[in-house]
Every structure is written in C-alpha cells, then in structure tokens.
C-alpha cells in the first residue's frame, strides 16, 4: 500500500469513526461527495505545486530557469508585479512569451 493509500485509509477511518458533523451543516460534505473531495485533496497535496503548463500530465513538473537581474530591474519587476497583483514569475513568463512571439513571427 502506498503512502497516499495509507493516508486516504487513515482519513477515511477517522471520518467514519471519530469525526462529528453538525446535523444541519450546509458546508460539510457527506458520502461520495466527501470521499471524492478527500481523494482529490490528497492527490493535490502529495503531487507538489500544480504545473503552469496546461498540457502537462499529472505529476509532470514545469521546467525551471534561473536569471540574475540588476538590482534596479529587480526593483522595477517587484513594483510592477505588486501593482498588477501578479507574481514576479508571472510577469517574467508573460514578458518572455511576448518577446519570443515577436522574434519568431515572420
């Protein structure tokens, strides 16, 4: 039995025997809906970060690149990301995608 299966089994036993829900709860899941939610939650929790690649297979990680930036550019990036409520990585990905599109179009 894998760790995920063991974790699922332990959680299922706890839910069946020890967990108590308010009878009139409108937010608590029960039955198959609770089981499906629990399985999905465990799968996400043990799979690491979700891939940013929509074509990625489950468990496939996105490639990582590291770039050194001058302090001024780093500060500008941080300010722009903050102003747009985006992560610096997201701003870099979008800028790089735009750059590649502009330089590969004929």
99, two tokens: 């750059």
Residues 43-80 have pLDDT tens digits of 777 666 667 887 877 777 788 899 999 999 999 999 99
Q: At what angle do helices 31-46 and 3-17 cross, to 10 degrees?
A: 150
**pLDDT class for 89, splitting at 50, 70, 90?**
very high
Give the distance, in angstroms, between the CA of residue 21 and the centroid of all CA atoms in the same chain: 28
Task: Answer whether residue 18 shows pLDDT above 90.
Answer: no
**Contact between 29 and 37 (Cβ < 8 Å):** yes
Question: What residue ranges do the domains of the chain occupy?
Answer: 3-21+28-46, 71-104
- The reported pTM is 0.52
């Amino acid at each position: 039995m894998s760790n995920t299966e063991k974790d699922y089994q332990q959680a299922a036993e706890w839910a069946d025997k020890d967990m108590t829900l308010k009878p009139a709860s409108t937010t608590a899941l029960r039955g198959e809906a609770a089981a499906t939610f629990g399985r999905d939650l465990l799968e996400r929790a043990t799979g690491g970060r979700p891939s940013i690649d929509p074509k990625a297979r489950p468990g496939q990680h996105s490639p990582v690149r590291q770039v050194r930036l001058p302090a001024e550019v780093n500060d500008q990036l941080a300010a722009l990301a903050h102003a747009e409520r985006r992560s610096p990585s997201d701003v870099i990905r979008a800028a790089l995608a735009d750059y590649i599109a502009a330089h590969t179009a004929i």
